[in-house]
A and B are shown apart, each in its own frame.
Chain A
Amino acid sequence: MIEQPLDIKALELKADEIRIDIITMLTHAGSGHSAGPLGMADIFTALYFARLMNYNPKNPDWQERDRLVLSNGHINPVLYVTMAHAGYFPHSELKTLRQFGSRLQGHPERLRLPGLETTSGPLGSGMSQAAGMAYGLRMDNQKKPHIFCLTSDAEIQEGNYWEAVMFAGKNKLHNLCAIIDRNNIQIDGFTEDVMPLEPLSMKFQAFNWHVLEIDGHNFEEIASAVGQARAIFEKPTVIIAHTIPGKGVDFMENDWRWHGTPPGKSDIPGSPPVSDQAKVALEELRTLKGKIRSEHQ
């Protein structure tokens, strides 16, 4: 059903392919978010191709599958590309992103695309849904499925988010694992300028969660953290994954101005001319520049 998990070298190459597809599809769509999807490419690659999640593209409703709830719907380019690579739908469909009639809506819509676990976009409510799923599965004594809720860091500013964190902590939802994309940026700037989140790990500890902090670009750390999350039976687990927004494209990295912009649309100081942005980004990713590889050595 599912191919053998990839080794680290192969995961690096897969993550790079996914980044190339993200840049290509965003350029083609002419709108959408760049920084978040690039930053989360390694985690998505690990979840699907290191087989950290149980899933079956041929039977998306398989009862025993793990659930990936994407709370920050705006990074859906990385989800769509990963799903295409995993075999949920034809790779050629990626170029329909955000177009009329496409199953790949601007923000994910469950009813349109098999394999999506929920509809999201408005921030801060994915964690509640994931907690509801975890609670319901535990009621039925279903031990296998694990619920992974992927959230951004800025959406932690939403009140609804903390209602869910409180609920999961109270109910000791050990089958729930939140993975936070801690990339420190949001639309209006850096999170700590807009509305500070730190000390983030202490906040989760105070709500009775098990907290792990990892380098979100290190496959071994990602795999180890997910393994721990599955093994802990007393609490829900949050993995605070420190990531570089725009990872893999020099001129996008750590620049909040690339949060909600696709290549080829905005003149952003320090970036190549608008007409060259996609080309430069793709060249960088295709050659790797030795960058992603070196970080795992």
Chain B
Amino acid sequence: MNINKTQHLNPQLFQKDIEMQPIRKGFGEGLLEAGKADESIVALSADLTESTQMQPFAEAFPERFIEIGVAEQNLVTVGSGLAAVGKQPFVTSYAGFSPGRNWEQIRTTICLNDRNVKIVGSHAGVSVGPDGATHQMLEDIGLMRILPNMTVVVPADSIEAKKATLALAKTQSPAYLRLAREKTAIVLTDNSPFLIGKAQVLAEGSDVTIVACGPMVYEALVAAHSLTKHHVSCEVINCATIKPLDAETILQSAKKTGQVITAEEGQAAGGLGGAVAELLADKLPMPMHRIGVQDRFGQSGEVTQLWHEYGLDAHAIMQAAIKITNRGR
């Protein structure tokens, strides 16, 4: 693989002491900045202000911060009402509860009703860790991406989360932003390009395309780096927008390599893997492998233990790449 210089990746990318930050932190910074630029932005919390990183906004704009309490159905529907009178609400909770608990309200009062509400689901993925299966949301990408009129964004690191938040603050339609809890390696820099709906080719290769999102982007890059020793040349795509899917970038790469691996920190069914599988089945059928949770729930543990257990790390991606590339040889 060759690192794509136009992507301005973190120069310390493959060093052991790479800087780590929680992805959700970037959201908090982005929301504060967006709030300074646009007075119509309001933030709604469901009793999780600090852990969803809304504290800076709440302190800077107390009059635009609305505490809803432990009521996720009310969270999104009050958001819909605020949007109806010209506000631009960012409504936050843990992904397990929003959109986990309030899907119908999102469907009817936000998507079908076309209200400009940004739903922010933090603590997605098994990397939530010790809290266990109830709090490790794995189905949210699928739940959100099947809704008409919904945009779905899964940033790779805190830098991208900030960019995504600022970009979403400028759109006028419903969106879901998925955030992880734990510290994640910083893959990108301030100069890295970001556009909603655009997948970015972070590294170019010729044998296999790895399409990843969220914390799996770093794992994909580490896997691709190690695979050069096995003479496997990987193309790594950061697919931060799951919907609308950047079909052009993915198909172009798939045409070149002839095989595709997807990697996400959620159910392998219905999420990014599902979206890419649908695309390839429709346009360009080819061998593919979906890295993700295989129809199971999470459990308590440390991040590294859990990623290993569920096959969600660079090692698992490497194994999949070796297997899929041997197929044609």
Binding site for B on A (CB under 8 A): 67, 109-111, 117-122, 125, 128-137, 139-140, 142, 159-160, 163-164, 166-167
Contact = CB atoms under 8 A, between A and B. Distances in A.
Contact of A136 (B69, B71, B87, B113): B87
Given A117-B84, A137-B85, A160-B73, A132 B108 contact: no
B285 interface: no
Interface string B53-94: 000000000011010110101100111111111110000000
Contact of A163 (B63, B74, B104, B109): B74
Contacts of B83: 132
B73 A133 contact: no
B74 A129 contact: no
A135 B66 contact: yes
A55 B22 CA distance: 49
Most A Cβ at <10 Å: residue of B71, B78, B105, B108: B78
A132 B82 contact: yes
A142 B85 CA distance: 10
Contacts of A121: 108
Contacts of B42: 136, 139
A235 B105 CA distance: 26
If over half of A's interface residues share one DSSP class (helix, strand or loop), that class is named, otherwise mixed; here it is helix
A129 B80 CA distance: 6
Contact of A164 (B77, B82, B87, B104): B77
Contacts, number: 98
20 contacts: A110-B113, A111-B112, A111-B114, A119-B109, A120-B108, A125-B73, A128-B105, A129-B81, A132-B85, A133-B81, A134-B81, A136-B81, A136-B86, A139-B63, A139-B64, A139-B87, A140-B86, A159-B73, A163-B74, A164-B74
Most A Cβ at <10 Å: residue of B68, B71, B81, B109: B81
A122 B79 contact: no
Contacts of A134: 81
A140 B39 CA distance: 11
Contact of B85 (A133, A159, A164): A133
A135 B71 contact: no
A129 B114 contact: no
B86 A129 contact: no
Contact of A131 (B64, B78, B105, B109): B78
Contacts of B79: 132
Given A160-B77, A164-B78, A125 B85 contact: no
A125 B86 contact: no
A160 B72 CA distance: 9
Given A139-B63, A160-B73, A164-B74, A128 B87 contact: no
B73 A136 contact: no
B81 A128 contact: yes
Given A111-B114, A119-B113, A160-B105, A128 B74 contact: yes
Given A128-B73, A166-B69, A167-B74, A118 B82 contact: no
Q: Ordered nearest first, which 10 A-B pairs have the shortest CB separation?
A: A132-B81, A128-B77, A163-B74, A129-B81, A163-B71, A136-B85, A132-B78, A119-B113, A160-B73, A132-B82
Contact of B82 (A125, A136, A159): A136
B63 A135 contact: no
A122 B85 contact: no
Contacts of B71: 163, 166-167
B267 to A, nearest CB: 25
Nearest to A165: B74
Given A132-B80, A137-B85, A139-B87, A119 B74 contact: no
B84 A163 contact: no
Nearest to B79: A132
A118 B81 CA distance: 9
B113 to A, nearest CB: 4
A120 B84 CA distance: 14
Nearest to A136: B85
Contacts of B84: 67, 117-118, 129, 132-133, 136
